[in-house]
Amino acid sequence: MIPTFTIRPRDYVESHVMMRSPRELPRPDWSAGLALRASTEIAADRDAAVAERSALEASRTDLMLTGTVDDVADLDHRIAVAKVRIDQAEMQHAAAVIAEAKTKADHEAEQTRRRALRKQAMKASAEVGRMADDYLAAAGKLVTLLAQIRERERLIAEANGNLPDDAEAVPPGEPFNGKAGTPSRHETTVEQIYSGMGDDRRPTYRKHPTTTFTPSVPEEPHKPLSARVYLPGLGRDAAPLWGVRYYVNGEPR
């Protein structure tokens, strides 16, 4: 009796073998179906196909003595299909091994890049720690300087609020960052408009005045340096070393 095997590989092979000319053979796609199958799984399919073919070939001698021509032809067909399965598994296994090796190499290369990046970041983190200490030292000097500037800004503001007669305002010392305002105004222009021919057959014109209104532009006062500087403290709950953080539409300014 002919032994029977049931093998269901994921890449199904038709139950018959079709012969094609070289021009009709499709170009192989090495990536098709390999992404979800490991080389070990493909190797198991190949071993099962090899076992099936061996068993079928071993039964051929007895079938030649006891079977019909159709039985032998059917057996030969099954042997041929098993060989196709073996060849297909061999090719898929080779491609899967290559793909797995590439995936492993890519993963190792990516891990090497990440380790190098982290090493650089750890060095940068230590440098930031040292720089944070430098910031606190530099900010302390700035706080002292800003306090001196604020004291003088207050003196200038008090003097400008109590100027003697015919005295100009005291300049802020630093470059002015405000904006001078302009008052509203009316401007009248006169246009000559043709009104026809006069008695002397000469053209006559009449005056048409037009008044244009320009609204005022409010001035923007100078903002002192000490009021513009903000020096944050370190840590979530640390108080600012100097100044107040302003927010516009939720964004710090």
**Per-residue DSSP letters for 40-92?**
HHHHHHHHHHHHHHHHHHHHHHHHHHHS-HHHHHHHHHHHHHHHHHHHHHHHH
Q: Quick check: 9 pLDDT over 80? A: no
User: Average of pLDDT values for 180-200?
Assistant: 85
Q: Answer yes or no: is 195 within a domain.
A: yes
The reply to whether 191 falls in a domain is yes
> The tokens of 135 are what?
């910031």
Ranking 27-41, 147-161, 189-203 by mean pLDDT, the lowest is: 27-41
What was the pLDDT predicted at 13?
Answer: 43
Consecutive H or E run containing 128: helix 69-160
Compute the radius of gyration of the chain from its Cα atoms. 47
Give the mean model confidence (pLDDT) for residues 178-191. Answer: 87
Scored b (16 or more CB within 10 A) or e, 139-163 reads: beeeeeebeebbeebeeeeeeeeee
Question: Helix, strand or coil for residue 28?
Answer: coil
pLDDT tier for residue 131 given thresholds of 50, 70 and 90: very high
Indicate if the pLDDT at residue 65 is higher than 50. yes
First to last CA, the chain: 91
Q: What was the pLDDT predicted at 207?
A: 85
> What domain count does the chain have?
1
Confidence of residue 11 (pLDDT cuts 50, 70, 90): very low
pLDDT value, residue 203: 86
Q: Are 222 and 177 in contact (CB under 8 A)?
A: yes
How much is the average pLDDT of 23-33?
49
Q: What mean pLDDT do residues 100-126 have?
A: 97
In a domain, 133, yes or no: no
Report pTM. Answer: 0.55
Within-domain flag for 171: no
CB 181 within 8 A of CB 162: no
Is the dihedral angle over the CA atoms 137, 138, 139, 142 positive or is it negative? positive
Q: Is residue 140 part of a domain?
A: no
- Alpha-carbon gap, residue 135 to 159, rounded angstroms: 35
Assigned domain for 228 exists:
no
Overall residue count recorded for the chain in this entry: 253
Interval 136-157 mean pLDDT = 97
Question: Does the residue 72 lie in any domain?
Answer: no
Whole-number Å distance between alpha carbons of 26 and 205:
93
Beta bridge partners of 190: 209
Q: Is residue 196 part of a domain?
A: yes
Quickly state the pLDDT bin for 26 (edges 50, 70, 90).
Answer: low
Domain range for residue 206? 185-214
By mean pLDDT, which of 24-33, 89-98, 120-129 is the weakest? 24-33
Whole-angstrom distance, CA of residue 129 vs CA of residue 25? 66
**For the chain, what is the mean pLDDT?**
85
- Per-residue confidence (pLDDT) for residue 14, from 0 to 100: 42
Q: What whole-number distance in Å separates Cα of residue 251 and Cα of residue 253?
A: 6
Going by C-alpha positions, the residue among 151, 49, 144, 148 that lies closest to residue 93 is 49
Say whether pLDDT at 167 is over 50.
yes
pLDDT at site 119: 98
How large is the average pLDDT for residues 74-89?
Answer: 92
